[in-house]
Structure 1
């Protein structure tokens, strides 16, 4: 049998697949990052409701609850249907934000705010479908594809931050400038989400490298890829073979073997989201950059998060030691007192540097964990482990956005 390292189909279409994965990763968070990035518009519309914190807090229970259910039933779920549902829900929800703003003529009020919160919850459901489904799917392929998807996730933040800086500069002095920028954001997001639906439905399953690894996973007993194989023009392999030969580890066994990776994902995002974006948006004080200050901090975080996700592509810089990863993750908690004292006594240069390091370490450690953990397992187990790690990632985000409220202690509401 030809080894997978020597098989030419392993590399055929690799770079096209990396670009498509990058775009699909971008689409996974582009709409949500658009909502986060225009929060100055929502703060203006709903000044008494803390939208920069509440919208994230609404989003997370829906994301976490949905991914928990999907992870539990992962082995029986049709991955193609799951991911398509997620991308279509992203498209419809993004379109609804646009329609809601146009229908209310940019007016605030409790009814509009509840509508925005409901759409935020829909984004959470869509994210759980797509992020868990795609990471699970890509976990049994080459690490470069999952790295590209994760880089796309970060790129969505960097792109929306860049767009926000451009729209702020363009519309800052115009009447109704915040609203014009928000409408432009969600018009672009709506177009991008329908592009991702088409990419996943018609392009991704037909790429040679994707068909190769899905066929390999099916031969190892993975049932989740059958619809994707059919879409790629391949019949499901080994359908009539005795399923007992495909005994895979249970989710519990996988979790126990990889508890350090799971805890690492939880702690990475618990720390990051306890600082970003709520603390950076509301608690960093007034500086010479004025209203640009929070936008610059968020843009620097997003840019460095994106850069951090490319560093592991250089093999000698990738951290693969499990102990090394855990020490690195735990050492990041020193950033909490660093941010506290910098916000209180430091100037904006130190805050920008700290925020950049927060983003860089977040992106770097995320890719190191998610590309290292699946190694050595069969396709069905790699898919399950990918879903489990995303579950802990979203759990960490939920813990982080909850802890973020602790920064308000003693400040008054």
Structure 2
């Protein structure tokens, strides 16, 4: 038996599939609140027709997310990952409840005061997102690539689920008085319940899985200090977490060194989300014209993106189509920019079928390339470096999103306000 086989045999199989399911659920909870806000943009568009909510809410969300993730990434090695993730999920839960409270307190009326309140909640979602996405990606990067794939699929599933639920609520309440409002309240009632479930799962179930304890113990033996609280929650003593290797034997790369070594992955992630968020959701909601689907058109486009993004995050499981070459990953990311003129001319001259097809391609490539990069990049490092690299890549991802939602405003040039 080779050393590699011995190492593989030492990894406990117990809890692997439970961990995959929980990663999917926790990934879903990482974006469910924000996707719910995006999916009810037609309601906010009705309440605040002059304020471009489909663009402004995203633009408010991103500086908070990017600023927070940059700070957390800088101090990553000294942070308590358990406290960070629980804090993020708890903030998602509280903010989701506040959306309902604000709507009930204002009786579903618009106005600048209500709009400022919605924007403030959007900023809180950004802070929570930075805590959870960076914390979870860093934590899962020191485990197995399958866990990252499942978590990222959960992120996309939140969009697909909210789109499906939005179709149901729109159909159910379309002809009733205050139908949009009833659908929005139902949305966030479900959302807040799900976020509370994520808090409980991460706090009491996930750290006790054998395979999770194994990888966290391994990371602790390699000098990681971020997993201590989670190991304690899983009933693992720090003395027993270390194996025969001395943490002092490991020379940790600095964040700057890790970024330089993986600069192509970082730029690729940035480029993926610059393109995606320069089109989704603002352009799809406001700049694709009127078609036979009427008020359903924007919802259909968003659903097309969300479903194809979810599919794209599972396609890397097929070895034949997974891109592992760093060179070809970069080529693929750059090639996506051909979608910009394609969307422009389709919005101007094409019909809704072509736009739905383009939106599906946008989502499919977004999901596929994201998972390919995040599952390939952390390989070959020790636990502390894998955690740090996961945080760095998440920071680049959010930087791309921020740049994308800013560039999205360029579609308004020449159209007036």
TM-score, normalization by structure 1: 0.98
List runs of 5+ in structure 1 lacking aligned partners.
Answer: none
The 5-angstrom pairing of residues 195-344 of structure 1 reads 195-236=197-238, 237-238=241-242, 244-344=248-348
Report the Cα distance in structure 2 between the residues aligned to 1:27 and 1:85, rounded to whole angstroms. Answer: 13
Q: Which residue of the partner structure matches residue 380 of structure 1? A: 384
Q: Is the 8 A contact 2:11 2:211 kept in 1?
A: no
Q: Does 1:4 align with 2:7?
A: yes
Structure 1 residue 251 displacement after superposition: 0.2
- Offset of 1:7 from its aligned partner? 2.3
Partners in 2 of 1:288 and 1:109 — Cα distance? 31
- Aligned residue in 1 for 2:416: 412
- Alignment partners' CA distance in 2, 1:153 and 1:97: 21
Structure 2 matches for 1:51-90, cutoff 5 A? 51-90=53-92
Structure-1 separation of matches of 2:63 and 2:412: 21
Mapped partners of 2:56, 2:244: distance in 1: 51
Question: Residue 191 of structure 1 aligns with which residue?
Answer: 193
Aligned pairs (5 A) from 1:159-198: 159-198=161-200
Report how far residue 8 of structure 1 moved.
Answer: 4.9
Change (3 A) 1:241 1:356: closer
Deviation string, structure 1 residues 292-339 (Cα, Å, up to 9, x no partner): 111000001000000000001112221100000000000000000000
Q: Deviations over 1:231-289 (max 9, x none)?
A: 00001234999754232000000000000000000000000000000000000001111
Give the Cα separation in 1 of the matches to 2:359 and 2:41.
19
Deviations 1:320-375 (A, max 9, x none): 00000000000000000000000001111110000000000000000000000001
Give aligned pairs, total.
412
Q: Distance in 2 between matches of 1:12 and 1:86?
A: 28
* Map of 1:151 onto structure 2: 153
Matched with 1:347 is 351
Match of 1:94 in 2: 96
With the length of structure 2 as denominator, give the TM-score of the two structures. Answer: 0.97
For 2:136, the equivalent position in structure 1 comes to 134
Q: Is the 8 A contact 2:222 2:246 kept in 1?
A: no
- Displacement of 1:19 in angstroms is 0.4
- Give the secondary-structure state (helix, strand or coil) at the position aligned to 1:107: coil
